[in-house]
C-alpha cells in the first residue's frame, strides 16, 4: 500500500491509485483527482455518477459495472463514456474514492 | 408438518435440486413443485457444436418433465411475479403458488435488443448467436455458405453464460474452415470487453497462446456500443463506445445477459440486471431467508456454468434441509467451477478453479487424471462423454464418481513466482 496527497490530504491508495479507505475521500479531493485524470471541471452529471458510485459501494461493497451504471445511475452508457472517456467504471471509481470495481467473472 | 418447496425453472439447477431434495425428504415432510414455461430441456453445452454440424438440434433437447423423478409436481406455466412479502409465486394467468421455501433457478436470458442496432435487418442474415437453439441452427446454415471474408466473434459485455464458449467457437471455426479448405480466405477475429482472452490470468495466457497459434486476431477492452448493418442486412460494422470499429461479413455475437423477465417484475427479488443477490457460500438470497438461488440466476461472482450449478446443488440441498429443520446453514460452496474447453482437431483442454484459486496446470481430479490447461484427446473424449453424465448423473442429482463439490488441490501445480518451473503443491501431499 502507498499514499497519495490530494487537496493537502494524504490518503491510502493501492498500486493502481484506487482508494483503500473511501472514508478518507472528500469532494475537494475528487475535483483534484479529476483534473489529474484529464477532466477539467466536474459537472452535475459527473457528480450524479460519482454520488451513485459511492452509494452503491456503501451498500454492496463493490463499485457497479458500466452496464449497471447505465441502468441505474440515470446516465446512459453513451453519456457515461462521454463524461469519463477512459472507461466509466474505472475512472469514476477512481474519482469517487472507492476501490477498483471487481467487475464480472 | 409438511413444507411446500417451490422451484422456479426446470433447467440444470431446478431439475437437479428437485431430484436431490426428493431423495432427501420423505413425501410427508415436503411437497416439491417445479415451474417452467416450456417442456424443452436443452443440453446447453451441446449448442457450441450445432453451427459446425457436429450435433443436431434434436439430439440435445429432451422433455423437461421426464427429467423429474416421481413425487415431484411439474407446473407448466410462465411466471408473472414473486411476492416475497407474501411467500407466494403468481403464475401467468393469476393462479398462486404459496411456498415455505423458494428456489430461483430460472437462469439467464439473452437480451440482444439492448444493444443498439443489433436486432436490425442483419440479425439472422449476417449476425447470429449460438447461445440458443434456433440461432445455433441458423448459424450452421450461414457458416456452411461462408467461403471468404471477415468472421467476427463478439462478446458484448459480461456476465455471460460459459465465458469459454466464445473462445471454443473460435477454435472450432478455425478447424471447421481448415477442413473445408477455405481458412486462408477468412479473417477470424475475437472481440472482447475483457483485457485478455479470459478472466483469470493463467488461463488467459494459455488461451491467448492458442488463439495466436490458430491465427485468430484478438481485440480486447472493446465495449460494443452499436452494430450497423449494410444493405439488406449483409455485413456491417461493430462500433465501440470509444469509437473503435470492427467490420464484419459474418458476426457471431454473444448478446447481453439478464435474469429472467419475471424477476424484474418481482419487487426486491433481483438486482438491476435481474439476477438474485445471494450469499456466495450458502446460496441463501439477501432478499428473504426462505428464498435461495442456484446457477445462472444468482449474482454470485463466479462463471455462469453447468458445473457451477452442479457443485452448488450439493451445498444447497443440505441448506434447504437445514433451513427446514431450523438449523444453521452450511457455508460450504467454495466457488468450484470446472470446464472443458474444446480446441478443435478432436482435442480439448480443461480448467478447474474456485473463488480463491485461479485455474492451475496439473491434472484433475487427482495426480492421475485429465490434464489441466493443456490440450489433449482425453479431454475431448471427456467433453463428449459428459453429455451422457449430464442426463444420467447430473440431472438425477447424483454425484459424478471422483468429482466432489469442493475444488481439489491434489494434482494441481502452483507455478513458482519466477515462473521458471511448475512445482507440485507440497501441502497437499502429492507423492
Per-residue pLDDT tens digits for B83-113: 999 999 999 999 999 999 999 999 999 999 9
Residues B116-126 have a mean pLDDT of 98
Using the 3D structure, point to which of B257, B283, B311 is the last residue of a domain.
B257
Q: Is residue B330 one of the residues assigned to a domain?
A: no
Residue B299 has pLDDT above 90, yes or no: yes
Q: Who has greater pLDDT, B199 or B253?
A: B253
Q: Report pLDDT for B131.
A: 98
Tell me the pLDDT tens digit for each residue of B231-246: 999 999 999 998 999 9
Residues B300-328 have a mean pLDDT of 96
Looking at the fold, whether B121 and B232 belong to one and the same domain comes out as yes
Instruction: Report the residue of B115, B156, B204, B241 to disrupt the A interface, i.e. the one with the largest count of A CBs within 10 Å.
Output: B241
For residue B276, name the pLDDT band (cuts at 50, 70, 90): very high
Residue B253 has pLDDT above 90, yes or no: yes
For residue B420, name the pLDDT band (cuts at 50, 70, 90): very low
Q: How far is B299 from chain A (nearest CA, A)?
A: 10
Take residue A80 and report the three cell numbers written for it: 457515461
Note whether A67 contacts B199, CB cutoff 8 Å. Answer: no
The pair phi, psi for residue B371, each rounded to 5°, is: -65, 140
Q: Report pLDDT for B212.
A: 97
Average pLDDT, chain B: 93
Q: Which residues of B touch A78 (CB under 8 A)?
A: 225, 241
Residues B265-272 have a mean pLDDT of 96
Residue B248 has pLDDT above 80, yes or no: yes
Eight-class DSSP state of B399: P
Tell me the pLDDT tens digit for each residue of B164-176: 999 999 999 999 9
Looking at the fold, whether B212 and B195 belong to one and the same domain comes out as yes
Looking at the fold, whether B236 and B315 belong to one and the same domain comes out as no
Residues B351-356 have a mean pLDDT of 92
**Is A83 in the active site?**
no
Active-site residue (options: A15, A40, A59, A104): A104
* Spatial strand order in the sheet of B291-293: B72-76, B30-36, B3-8, B101-104, B291-293
B241 touches chain A (CB under 8 A): yes
Q: Report pLDDT for B423.
A: 39
A74 touches chain B (CB under 8 A): no
Q: Is residue B124 one of the residues assigned to a domain?
A: yes
B254 touches chain A (CB under 8 A): no
Note whether B225 contacts A77, CB cutoff 8 Å. Answer: yes
Tell me the pLDDT tens digit for each residue of A19-48: 999 999 999 999 999 999 999 999 999 999
Domain count, chain B: 3
Residue B418 has pLDDT above 50, yes or no: no
Residues A50-54 have a mean pLDDT of 96
Q: Report pLDDT for B209.
A: 95
Looking at the fold, whether B151 and B221 belong to one and the same domain comes out as yes
User: Percentage of residues in chain B with pLDDT exceeding 70?
Assistant: 96
Looking at the fold, whether B126 and B247 belong to one and the same domain comes out as yes
Which fold, A2-96?
Arc Repressor Mutant, subunit A (1.10.10)
Note whether A78 contacts B225, CB cutoff 8 Å. Answer: yes
Using the 3D structure, point to which of B225, B257, B289 is the last residue of a domain.
B257
Q: Which residues of B touch A71 (CB under 8 A)?
A: 272-273
Q: Report pLDDT for B428.
A: 34
ipTM: 0.80
Note whether B158 contacts A104, CB cutoff 8 Å. Answer: yes
Q: Is residue B285 one of the residues assigned to a domain?
A: yes
Separation of alpha carbons B53 and A68, rounded Å: 37
Eight-class DSSP state of B49: G
Residues B12-39 have a mean pLDDT of 97
For residue B416, name the pLDDT band (cuts at 50, 70, 90): low
Q: Is residue B332 one of the residues assigned to a domain?
A: no
A103 touches chain B (CB under 8 A): yes
- Beta carbons of B277 and B299 less than 8 angstroms apart: yes
Take residue B132 and report the three cell numbers written for it: 440458443
A1 touches chain B (CB under 8 A): no
A78 touches chain B (CB under 8 A): yes
Q: How far is A86 from chain B (nearest CA, A)?
A: 8
Q: Report pLDDT for B413.
A: 86
Q: Report pLDDT for B427.
A: 33
In chain A, where are the structural domains located? 2-96
Separation of alpha carbons A62 and A21, rounded Å: 13
Note whether B223 contacts A66, CB cutoff 8 Å. Answer: yes
B179 is in which domain, residue-wise? Answer: 112-257
- Beta carbons of B289 and B84 less than 8 angstroms apart: no
Residue B186 has pLDDT above 80, yes or no: yes
Looking at the fold, whether B408 and B288 belong to one and the same domain comes out as no
Note whether B241 contacts A72, CB cutoff 8 Å. Answer: no
Residue B293 has pLDDT above 60, yes or no: yes
The CATH number assigned to the domain holding B157 equals 3.50.50.60
Please tell me the pTM assigned to this model.
0.91
Looking at the fold, whether B116 and B234 belong to one and the same domain comes out as yes
Looking at the fold, whether B235 and B287 belong to one and the same domain comes out as no
Q: Report pLDDT for B430.
A: 33
- Beta carbons of B14 and B394 less than 8 angstroms apart: no
Q: Is residue B331 one of the residues assigned to a domain?
A: no
Note whether A104 contacts B159, CB cutoff 8 Å. Answer: yes
For residue B431, name the pLDDT band (cuts at 50, 70, 90): very low
Closest chain B residue to A72, measured at CA: B272
A–B interface: beta-carbon pairs under 8 A: 38
Looking at the fold, whether B245 and B264 belong to one and the same domain comes out as no
Looking at the fold, whether B140 and B251 belong to one and the same domain comes out as yes
Q: Report pLDDT for B419.
A: 41
Closest chain A residue to B271, measured at CA: A68
Amino acid at each position: 500500500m502507498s499514499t497519495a496527497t490530494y487537496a493537502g490530504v494524504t490518503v491510502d491508495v493501492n498500486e493502481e491509485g484506487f482508494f483503500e479507505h473511501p472514508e478518507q475521500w472528500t469532494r475537494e479531493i475528487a475535483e483534484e483527482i479529476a483534473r489529474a485524470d484529464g477532466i477539467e471541471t466536474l459537472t452535475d452529471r459527473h457528480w450524479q455518477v460519482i454520488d451513485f458510485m459511492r452509494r452503491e459501494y456503501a451498500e454492496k461493497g463493490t463499485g457497479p459495472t458500466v452496464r449497471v451504471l447505465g441502468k441505474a445511475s440515470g446516465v446512459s452508457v453513451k453519456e457515461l463514456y462521454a463524461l469519463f472517456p477512459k472507461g466509466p467504471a474505472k475512472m469514476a471509481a477512481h474519482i469517487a474514492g472507492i476501490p477498483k470495481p471487481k467487475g464480472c467473472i | 408438518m409438511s413444507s411446500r418447496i417451490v422451484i422456479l425453472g426446470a433447467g440444470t439447477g431446478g431439475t437437479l435440486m428437485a431430484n436431490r431434495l426428493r431423495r432427501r425428504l420423505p413425501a410427508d415432510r415436503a411437497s416439491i413443485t417445479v415451474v417452467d414455461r416450456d417442456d424443452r430441456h436443452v443440453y446447453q453445452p451441446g449448442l457450441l457444436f450445432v453451427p459446425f454440424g457436429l450435433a443436431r438440434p434434436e439430439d440435445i433437447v429432451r422433455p423437461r418433465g421426464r427429467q423429474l423423478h416421481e413425487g415431484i409436481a411439474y407446473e407448466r406455466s410462465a411466471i408473472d411475479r414473486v411476492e416475497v412479502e407474501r411467500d407466494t409465486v403468481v403464475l401467468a394467468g393469476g393462479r398462486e403458488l404459496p411456498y415455505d421455501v423458494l428456489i430461483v433457478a430460472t437462469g439467464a436470458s439473452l437480451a440482444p435488443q439492448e444493444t443498439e442496432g443489433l436486432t436490425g435487418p442483419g440479425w439472422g442474415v449476417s449476425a447470429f448467436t449460438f447461445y440458443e437453439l434456433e440461432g445455433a441452427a441458423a448459424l450452421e446454415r450461414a457458416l456452411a455458405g461462408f467461403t471468404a471474408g471477415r468472421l467476427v466473434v463478439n462478446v458484448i459485455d459480461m456476465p455471460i453464460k460459459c465465458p469459454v464458449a466464445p473462445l471454443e467457437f473460435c477454435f472450432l471455426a478455425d478447424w471447421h474452415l481448415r477442413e473445408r479448405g477455405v481458412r486462408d480466405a477468412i479473417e477470424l477475429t475475437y472481440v472482447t470487453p475483457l483485457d485478455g482472452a479470459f478472466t483469470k490470468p493463467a488461463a488467459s495466457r494459455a488461451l491467448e497462446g492458442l488463439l495466436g497459434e490458430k491465427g485468430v486476431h484478438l481485440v480486447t477492452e472493446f465495449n460494443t456500443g452499436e452494430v450497423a448493418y449494410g444493405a439488406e442486412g449483409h455485413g456491417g460494422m461493430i462500433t465501440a463506445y470509444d469509437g473503435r470499429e470492427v467490420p464484419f461479413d459474418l458476426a457471431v455475437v454473444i448478446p447481453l445477459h439478464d435474469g429472467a423477465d419475471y424477476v424484474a417484475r418481482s419487487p426486491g427479488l433481483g438486482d438491476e440486471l435481474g439476477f438474485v443477490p445471494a450469499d456466495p457460500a450458502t446460496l441463501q438470497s439477501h432478499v428473504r431467508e426462505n428464498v435461495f438461488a442456484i446457477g445462472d440466476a444468482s449474482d454470485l461472482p463466479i462463471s455462469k456454468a453447468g458445473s457451477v450449478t452442479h457443485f452448488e446443488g450439493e451445498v444447497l440441498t443440505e441448506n434447504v434441509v437445514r433451513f427446514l429443520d431450523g438449523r444453521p446453514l452450511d457455508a460450504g460452496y467454495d466457488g468450484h467451477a470446472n470446464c472443458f474447453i474444446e480446441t478443435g482437431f478432436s482435442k480439448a483442454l480443461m480448467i478447474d478453479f474456485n473463488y480463491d484459486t485461479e485455474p492451475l496446470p496439473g491434472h484433475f481430479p487427482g495426480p492421475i487424471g485429465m490434464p489441466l490447461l493443456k490440450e489433449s484427446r482425453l479431454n475431448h473424449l471427456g467433453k463428449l462423454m459428459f453429455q451422457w453424465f449430464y442426463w444420467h448423473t447430473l440431472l438425477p442429482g447424483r454425484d459424478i464418481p471422483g468429482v466432489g463439490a469442493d475444488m481439489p488441490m491434489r494434482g494441481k501445480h502452483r507455478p513458482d513466482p519466477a515462473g521458471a518451473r511448475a512445482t507440485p503443491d507440497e501441502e497437499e501431499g502429492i507423492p
